[in-house]
A and B are shown apart, each in its own frame.
Chain A
Amino acid sequence: GENVEQHPSTLSVQEGDSAVIKCTYSDSASNYFPWYKQELGKRPQLIIDIRSNVGEKKDQRIAVTLNKTAKHFSLHITETQPEDSAVYFCAARGRAQKLVFGQGTRLTINP
């Protein structure tokens, strides 16, 4: 079945620096790749998503890139701020309509 690998599991960056989180997926039929941010005790919140007909998408300080050939996609956060600290999950949707999630990345922004 579909498998999504996410790296790194933890990431610590200085405020103002950039953070990059990477995911790979196994199902070549996957066509939708959302990223969710989850703060402690809260629900996952969609922050950006990309579909397979697009290579890159940007929304202010957040961008996502997709390489279909290599079956990997990445989240880029620039000019990080303390409120960016959270756990980030990538996901992929393949032949079935369910989302398959990565294991999560705990991002810590150091002031």
Chain B
Amino acid sequence: NAGVMQNPRHLVRRRGQEARLRCSPMKGHSHVYWYRQLPEEGLKFMVYLQKENIIDESGMPKERFSAEFPKEGPSILRIQQVVRGDSAAYFCASSPAPVETQYFGPGTRLLVL
């Protein structure tokens, strides 16, 4: 039973480019959560999605950031016109139901030059 998968594991972008981060939840999990972790800091909630629906995006910046979880395929976190401050590790987690345990993927480390 494969765990939560994320790709790419490392992503380098220049300022102004777009970054696309993908997350495939564990089998049987339909709830996906994205978190951001700055160096030496804790994890900050960004967005919570269920298949084809955004449930809670209260932690996601209004500008440049968007997320989706289509009926087929992985969840995608998209960052447009990246800036240096977007450099961080982005983790997704999945659960089979909102009240169940969240399991984390290996993260995508984004570096903006």
Give chain A's interface residues, CB within 8 Å of chain B: 6, 32, 34, 36, 42-46, 49, 89, 96-104
Contact = CB atoms under 8 A, between A and B. Distances in A.
B42 A89 contact: yes
A43 B90 CA distance: 10
- The size class of the interface chain B forms with chain A is 20 to 34
A98 B41 contact: no
B105 interface: yes
Interface string B58-79: 1100000000000000000000
A107 to B, nearest CB: 15
B45 A43 contact: no
Contacts of A96: 48, 56, 58
Given A44-B43, A89-B43, A97 B106 contact: no
Contact of A49 (B98, B101, B107): B101
Contacts of A100: 45
24 contacts: A32-B99, A34-B101, A43-B104, A44-B43, A44-B104, A89-B43, A96-B56, A97-B31, A97-B48, A97-B56, A98-B45, A98-B56, A98-B59, A99-B33, A99-B35, A99-B45, A99-B102, A100-B45, A101-B43, A101-B45, A103-B41, A103-B42, A104-B41, A104-B42
Interface of chain B, helix or strand or loop or mixed? strand
Contacts of A102: 42
B59 to A, nearest CB: 7
